[in-house]
Amino acid sequence: MPAYRPQDLEKKWQDHWQQHNTFRADNDSSKPKYYVLDMFPYPSGAGLHVGHPLGYIASDIVARYQRLQGRNVLHPMGFDSFGLPAEQYAIQTGQHPAVTTEKNIETYIRQLQQLGFSYDWEREVRTSDPDYYKWTQWIFLKLFNSWYNLDTDRAEHIRTLQEKFAENGSAGIRAAGEADDRHDFSAGQWQSFTEKQKLAAILPYRLAYQQDTYVNWCAALGTVLSNDEVKDGLSERGGYPVERRLMPQWNLRITAYADRLLQGLNTLDWPDAVKEMQRNWIGKSIGAEVTFPVQGHENTDIKVYTTRVDTIYGATFLVLAPEHELVDQLTTPAQRADVDEYIAATKRRSERDRMSDVKHVSGVFTGAYAANPVDGTPVPIWLADYVLAGYGTGAVMAVPSGDQRDYLFAKHFDLPIPAISDAQKDLDQQADPTKEGRYINSGIVNGLTYKEATAKLIAFLEEKGLGKGKVNFRLRDAIFGRQRYWGEPIPIYYKDGTAYGVAEADLPLVLPEIDEYKPTEHGEPPLGRAKGWKYKGQYEFELSTMPGWAGSSWYYLRYMDPHNADRFVSEEAEQYWGQVDLYMGGAEHATGHLLYSRFWYLFLKDLGLVTHSEPFQKLINQGMILGRSSTIYLLPYLWSMWVGFETTTKVPETISLPTVYISKGVLDRARKGQQSAADKAAIEAVMHQAFNEWGVESSIPFSTETVPLEYEDAAWFNVDISIVKDDLLDLERFKKSRSDYNTAYYITEPDGSFICGNEIEKMSKSKYNVVTPDELVDKYGADALRLYEMFLGPLEQFKPWNTNGISGVATFLKRFWRLFHPEDGSLAVTDEAPTPAELKTLHRVIQKVAHDIEKFSFNTSVSTFMIAVNELTALGTHKRAILEPMVILLSPFAPHLAEELWEELGHKSGSISHAAYPEFREEFLVEANVTYPVAINGKVRDQRQFAATATAAEIETAILESDFLSRFGEGKAAKKVVVVPGRMVNVVV
């Protein structure tokens, strides 16, 4: 038999699995089910790097292990294939996004298959496939045709709302959403409404509705961006300016489910950090809504929501969001210019930047005043960008003595900061939000405690019609429209300016072909370019498309029944597979995908289309594999810019000086003042050579006095790690990589080497630190890569990548192979009976691997395998009774090698996935004998071996009858013998 060559046998088994659909999951099985899911990948053009498969390997180990446990395992894969990157590439090249996406998916599938993942590829789905997004559109229509009834605490079809309107008008209806957006009408008025008027009355109740909403608008990209896609006022992709703009947008009323989303977290086996992120994002608070009448503006009020109504007497100013609808009305002529300037500046900042910036105080006075509702005191109205129009009411009751941000604002603009409690301290230095003590300077609540004051103030405000107690959520409705091409068309058309849903029978509404993928000349989304694209040939379609998270909010359900043309998932398939048993993915999706998926699932639950309360019962966040970046340093010297400094020699302004790179070792020693004579000589030699060859030596004679070297300010940039080994740069390859590198100058170490700096950070193409799985699979094999990624450390932790370490795992696999093929010869497995030592090693592995996989502790399983192979090699083990179970145990981790050996052992090709996990028998771990340390007066003098079943009395007798006392007792008699079973013996003399 030839030596172990993973590249040959791995391709053999990958082809076998694909041809025989080895991992097909059956929707009609008597076996218990297990659904293990990987988060939907977006197929980027870069393909996978070694950090991406970490979670996939872990989930695949679990999937293979669960099959060995006799379960029917659903382990699918598909692609979140709509997205902005493909669209931007289309805009730049004119190539249809579908072409780019298809090519990228082919790369992903090839890479995933070469790693041996046990996916049921027959269930693959892609969000950009019309057969898939037909059902995304169908779910949207269900949302569009539903409202949330607070009395039943569930979504209902819009017809139940219409029935209520017909019976009693709008009176008494308790629906999720803002009551201020709706109009009151009687049953008679409803009956007299035209169709258009009825639809306008219904719109503010729908779970999918259109409303003017502040969004992140990027003119260069021609689209709305999510907060995650904006950083420091620029688009994350391309770095283009982004501004806040009020635009008509489709929204989904996720706020209707806020409390249920919050309560459901208590039932989930998720990381605490993820659950806490969702709790904070939902942000439930109990407080009061308070109305501040605006002075000089009749019937104009400002509503604020506060969790500290007890502090209302300390409200010395109001702060509005710059986008607040009343700003234009309230701004006085004297303040108009300042307000307009401030608003313009705010538009250039994202919501995230505005909320997170606590270092800088900014604001502008509108010139208007409101009246404090409890005592009528005038309260100045300011604008500040830390208040957001889309959160709460877009207005804040500022109490500087109790809130640090308000305190800093008041200090900056010299506004009053009165104390409101006798327990507040150090108000000359900072705010004090204490709820202790009793109130002062607080009118009707003077002398009361926090609870007493809160209750009295809410009662007073409700009595006067100026406020009410209210539960609020930080969560906002989800903006659902994107002004892009490469996304699901929203199935809405317009008749006389009113939105209608496309008939379900007309789905899917397929993306039309267009000539270019950018907005029209009139600023419409790219779909505005579609020629003759109208519903029924006469009605205009909605031109926005759905966001990327639409298709990924329900894909796990489609995997259950991916080819069903009549239903998004059959009742039978959904009831059989139920919840996802294990979901593997990144924590970065906590407040995006994971929250939206739960929202969609709860909605489908209300419609009776799914059977559980939550989609994903267990979630594991795999950590990140970090790359090792290499950096090269530029020697900084004061003449490295265009020359024009005052010197004794006039230097032409057209001269620039040569680029000089310095080895990290030389640089470090220079920074520490530990330069050797060799270092100084090397630096001077290179600098003189550079200045001479550059033709500037005559103008700028080099010396450290005329051209000072600024070692502390050395600039650096990343270099490709493929030309760096152990921090040593391959200078010749580096010089050949770019022409300007070849003409630069290099200060090396005394031995001629060039050392790079290094940093452990996220793998990224921009850092040139990406390691692709392809090159490692070619060299070491997929099984070695799978084992090595698991061996790096605990699954949830961040781990640095070091390619050198994979060779050790590859060596382990060769040693495992040689248990079957000594000296890489022919199969040498025998049917001899195993020894107790061999059985002990085997059953320790059976027990440990099962425990580790159940606890997702894969790195310790790999260690266990390595120890076991060392022990079996030392024992000269080649016995079927030991090696056959060992192959099964290793198969989830190294499936290709396991399949090959399983076949060689005489089993049907490709059948190891259907084998049974070996039975653990504890008796094989029981020691026959125990070695006891034997001490005299606590000092160990000898060791004796006894049967594991020996009693304390038997051990005592044996010690006293032995030569122990004669050898170590110095002639003294034993007073007593203390036996600690299984641990030690102590003779007291």
Coil, strand or helix at 473:
strand
CA atoms within 13 A on the CB side of 629: 17
Rounded Cα–Cα distance for residues 122 and 981 (Å): 59
Give 216-278 as a DSSP string: EEETTTTEEE-GGGEETTEETTT--B-EEEEEEEEEE-GGGGHHHHHHHGGG-B--HHHHHHH
Rounded Cα–Cα distance for residues 681 and 678 (Å): 5
Q: Is the separation of the CB atoms in 801 and 763 below 8 Å?
A: yes
Rounded Cα–Cα distance for residues 517 and 88 (Å): 8
Nearest CA to 443 out of 372, 369, 370, 371 is that of 372
> What does each C-alpha distance from 861 to 69, 635, 781, 808, 917 come to in angstroms?
17, 48, 19, 15, 15
Token digits for 733?
């390859």
Burial (0-12, 13-18, 19+ Cβ within 10 Å), 159: exposed
Rounded Cα–Cα distance for residues 885 and 55 (Å): 26
Q: Is 765 annotated as a binding residue?
A: yes
Token digits for 57?
């390997």
Q: Is the separation of the CB atoms in 557 and 605 below 8 Å?
A: no
Query: Cis before residue 508, ω within 30 degrees of 0?
Result: yes
Rounded Cα–Cα distance for residues 676 and 210 (Å): 72
Neighbours of 356 (CB within 10 A): 10
Rounded Cα–Cα distance for residues 100 and 44 (Å): 9
**Rounded to a whole number, what is the distance in angstroms from the first to the last CA of the chain?**
65
Q: Is the separation of the CB atoms in 113 and 124 below 8 Å?
A: no
Residue 878 sits at the vertex; the CA angle it makes with 877 and 884, to the nearest 5 degrees, is: 110
Token digits for 751?
């031995």
Give 318-341 as a DSSP string: EEE-TT-TTHHHH--GGGHHHHHH
Rounded to whole angstroms, the maximal C-alpha distance in the chain is 117
Give 531-584 as a DSSP string: TT-EETTTEEEP--B--THHHHTSHHHHTTSTT-SSSSS-HHHHHHH-SBSEEE
Matching residue, tokens 């340390």: 933
Sequence-distant (6+) residues with CB within 8 A of 304 are 289, 290, 292, 318, 392, 393, 395, 396, 397
**836-854 and 880-890 helices, crossing angle to 10°:** 10
Sequence-distant (6+) residues with CB within 8 A of 224 are 215, 216, 217, 218, 247, 249, 479, 481, 482, 483
Q: Is the separation of the CB atoms in 52 and 8 below 8 Å?
A: no
Which uninterrupted H or E stretch holds 947? strand 939-947
Token digits for 862?
């790999």
Token digits for 81?
């294939």
The amino acid that residue 883 corresponds to is: L
Q: Is the separation of the CB atoms in 511 and 559 below 8 Å?
A: no
Nearest CA to 581 out of 563, 560, 599 is that of 560
- Binding residue numbers: 765
- Binding residue numbers for ATP: 765
